Amino acid sequence: MRTLPEPVQRLVDAFSRLPGIGPKTASRLTFYLLRAPEELSKNLSEALIGIKQDTGLCEICFNITNKDTKICEICASEQRDRSTLCIVEEPLDVLAIEKTAGYNGLYHVLHGVLSPIEGIGPEDLKIKELYERLKKNDFKEIILATNPSMEGDATAMYLHERLSGLDLRITRLALGLPVGGDLEYADQNTLLRALAGRQNLD
């Protein structure tokens, strides 16, 4: 087959744009769906639309939440320690840290990292919102839990400089996390150790 029918090629192309999916996997998934019962495609397409239409960001921490709840479960919970704030890059990092069951404070999701090469500056992240939060709340400790990558480190350093005038303990996750890696891919024990061994930055 030199060329695929347009609807087939369209799905192959769409899959190819996802992270971790090369052209081969994209074709395999597409041809799998072609053979599979129609119900599978229908569920998949509804779920795809749902993740955009039925979700929103928590008004406080910017974690992903249901569209009809303005505040996420963590921010709403009375069981959480409201004196500690963990700053992460993405909602998936919240999930990774929650899975360790070693942290009971609150979160702030930046939705990215500073990256001069990609033209991402502080104004593109939820940093202004972070300052507002720090003004209004009485946090005792800020944990900078951005990824141990070049951009993650640079973002942590930037925040550390900006926040060091405040009366706060500022910590960074301990080494032991794979350098250049993502929090979301770290195994639970490694992440738990990094959290427990977090170090003061000042």
The residues of the shown chain that bind Zn ion, judged by CB under 5 A, are: 58, 60-61, 63, 72, 75
Query: Is 53:66 a contact under the CB 8 Å cutoff?
Result: no
Q: Which residue, 71 or 154, is less far from Zn ion as judged by CB?
A: 71
Q: Which residue, 58 or 125, is less far from Zn ion as judged by CB?
A: 58
Burial of 79 (0-12, 13-18, 19+ CB in 10 A): exposed
CB of 107 to Zn ion, least distance (A): 7
CB of 94 to Zn ion, least distance (A): 9
CB of 129 to Zn ion, least distance (A): 11
CA distance 21 to 15: 7
CB of 166 to Zn ion, least distance (A): 21
> C-alpha 161: how far from its chain's center?
23
User: Parallel, antiparallel, or unpaired for β 169-172 and 199-200?
Assistant: antiparallel
55 beta partners = 66
Q: Which residue, 30 or 146, is less far from Zn ion as judged by CB?
A: 146
Q: Which residue, 30 or 65, is less far from Zn ion as judged by CB?
A: 65
Q: Which residue, 65 or 100, is less far from Zn ion as judged by CB?
A: 65
Q: What are the C-alpha distances in Å from 85 to residues 82, 137, 155? A: 7, 10, 16
CB of 176 to Zn ion, least distance (A): 28
CB of 108 to Zn ion, least distance (A): 9
Q: In 3D, which of 47, 126, 54 has the Cα closest to residue 94?
A: 126
Residue 124 makes CB contacts below 8 A (sequence gap 6+) with 112
Q: Which residue, 72 or 110, is less far from Zn ion as judged by CB?
A: 72
Secondary element (H or E) of residue 169: strand 169-172
